[in-house]
Amino acid sequence: MTFKLGLTGSIGMGKSTTGQMFVDAGCALWDADAAVHRLYDAGGAAVEPMRATFPDAIQNDAVSRDILRAKISSQPTALSLIEQIVHPLVAQDRARFVAQTAAEIAVFDIPLLFETGGNVAMDAVAVVHVPDDIQQTRVMARGTMDLAQFLAIKAKQMPNVEKCDRADFVILTDTLEHARAQVHHVIDQIRKRTKDA
């Protein structure tokens, strides 16, 4: 029986890097953002339903995330319509992964795990965390958004302190070495739990 570990945390907290550490330690990984990319790519399951709703968001037979972002900013109902298309498809992608994995521990990298109630489908949840100033520095260093965009995204997410309070494990991602050590500790704790169960 595969143990399902939800991995979440706010933007810039080091979730993707931490997810890769779990993979390096032998865990299977399902990444919600990667699933959305697959759905939006040419031939992806979201392309035709999105074309029916937002025909101008399709470029080269793929969904343009930039155009969708602009629509979300300018049309109050756009986000809800996009979610109605994408969320069921993402759930199907995740279900396929669960059916196919034989891993002892499967990690589910889901940015809005608590916000969407996805935590109830997990056996445990790990939250990645750094102080606010490090978070902002990391996001700004990417050069992909300005401060106002970062603050707008952050405002839509549950405060990371609240996520930490609700989590079974908190992984401080201040350094790679420290994060890696905590990942191994989490895996050890899960193995103890599953042996005792």
Coil vs helix vs strand at 37: helix
Last residue of a domain, one of 83, 102, 121: 102
How much is the pTM?
0.89
Find the CATH number of the domain harbouring 163.
Answer: 3.40.50.300
Intra-chain end-to-end CA distance of the chain, in Å = 12
Residue 173 makes CB contacts below 8 A (sequence gap 6+) with: 13, 14, 17, 18, 128, 129, 130, 179
Last residue of a domain, one of 102, 122, 146: 102
Q: Are residues 92 and 176 in the same domain?
A: no
Q: Are residues 11 and 91 in the same domain?
A: no
E-strand spans in 64-161? 105-109, 124-129
Q: Are residues 22 and 72 in the same domain?
A: no
Q: Which domain holds residue 174?
A: 1-27+107-197
Q: Please, what are the averages of pLDDT over each run of 10 residues along the chain (197 residues)?
A: 94 93 97 95 95 94 92 88 93 94 96 91 96 91 87 85 95 96 97 84
Q: Are residues 12 and 70 in the same domain?
A: no
pLDDT at res. 69: 86
Q: Which residue has the tokens 């965390």?
A: 129
pLDDT at res. 197: 65
Q: Are residues 118 and 54 in the same domain?
A: no
Is 32 contained in some domain? Answer: no
Is 35 contained in some domain? Answer: no
